[in-house]
Structure 1
Amino acid sequence: MVVRPSTREMVFKSKEQWHWFDCPRQLGTNSPDTPVNCAVVDEVPIREGDVVLAMSDGVIDNLWAHEIVEKVSESVERWERGEGREEGIVEGEDGRDMMGFVAEELKEAAKVIALDPFAESPFMEHAIEEGLASGGGKLDDISVVAAMCRKNKG
């Protein structure tokens, strides 16, 4: 997903890649899914300041896209106000500290829903559409990588 915090909008979201409901493609060791046969490549117009996210299904099964956009935008704003920094830590020029904070905040938001048996979640909604009884979040691995687009200083 690509989020534009300056306007609080989702610029791009990849399509879910499933074999069937709750069985995502997995490009990894011992998987029949291979990058050569299954990887999808998209071209996305980006701007400086956009945040590019790579997330596991533990995030997107527990947070709707608009919640991800809001959490990322809010986290960037909080960081810029000086919140969320440990004492003595100063953001590097490459923005890694800010993006670490953004990823951690997004991970924690997904974890809250994953652990809540009464929460409404995208996974619950999809399960019901498939005719399966489901309630609450989905406990799963939750991984987030966040990167902010910046101009090269070349």
Structure 2
Amino acid sequence: MVIRPKQREMIYKSKEQWHWFDCPRQLGTNSPDTPVENAVIDTVELREGDVVLAMSDGVIDNLWGHEIVENVSKSVERWEAGEGGQASGPRKDGANGGMTFVAEELVNTAKQIAQDPFAESPFMEHAIDEGLASEGGKLDDISVVAALCRRNTT
């Protein structure tokens, strides 16, 4: 997913790839899915200040896209305002340590929903659409890598 925090907008989201509901493609060891046959390559025009997120399904099963955008945007604002630990330089756009803060905040939010048996979640909504009984968040691996797009000054 690519988020433009200053405008609070999602400018790109990859399409989920499933064999069937709750059985995602996996481009890893011991999987029949292969990068050559199953990987998707997209081109996205980025701007300085955009945040690129690589997330596990434990995040997107528990948070809707608008919640991710809001969480990242607020985390960048909080980082710029001095929250989230020591910076190794200017905090503009979430630079100099801010992406660690952004990733940690997103993981924590997804984890809260995953552990809430009464939460409404995207996974619950999809399960109901498939005719399956489901309530609350979905316990799963929750991983986030956040990267800030910056101009190369070298």
| Class of the TM-score when normalised by the shorter of the 2 chains | over 0.9
1:96 deviates by 4.9
Task: Say which SS state the counterpart of residue 145 (structure 1) adopts.
Answer: strand
1:92 deviates by 4.5
Q: Percent identical across equivalent pairs?
A: 75
| Letter of the structure 1 residue corresponding to residue 134 of structure 2 | S
Aligned match of 1:98: 98
1:3 deviates by 0.3
Instruction: Supply the distance in 1 between the matched residues of 2:37 and 2:82 (Cα, whole angstroms).
Output: 45
Runs of 4 or more consecutive aligned structure 1 residues displaced over 2 Å after TM superposition? 89-96
RMSD: 1.2
Aligned match of 1:13: 13
Q: What is the aligned residue count?
A: 151
1:95 deviates by 2.9
Instruction: Supply the distance in 1 between the matched residues of 2:53 and 2:87 (Cα, whole angstroms).
Output: 23
Instruction: Please list the CA deviations of residues 34-84 of structure 1 after superposition, one character each: whole Å capped at 9, or x if unmatched.
Output: 101100000001100000000000000000000000000000000000011
Aligned match of 1:140: 140
Q: Any unmatched runs of 5+ in structure 1? A: none
TM-score (norm 1): 0.95
Alignment of 1:65-84 (within 5 A): 65-84=65-84
Instruction: Supply the distance in 2 between the matched residues of 1:135 and 1:91 (Cα, whole angstroms).
Output: 42
1:90 deviates by 2.4
Task: Say which SS state the counterpart of residue 6 (structure 1) adopts.
Answer: helix
Matched, 1:149 2:149: yes
Aligned match of 1:38: 38
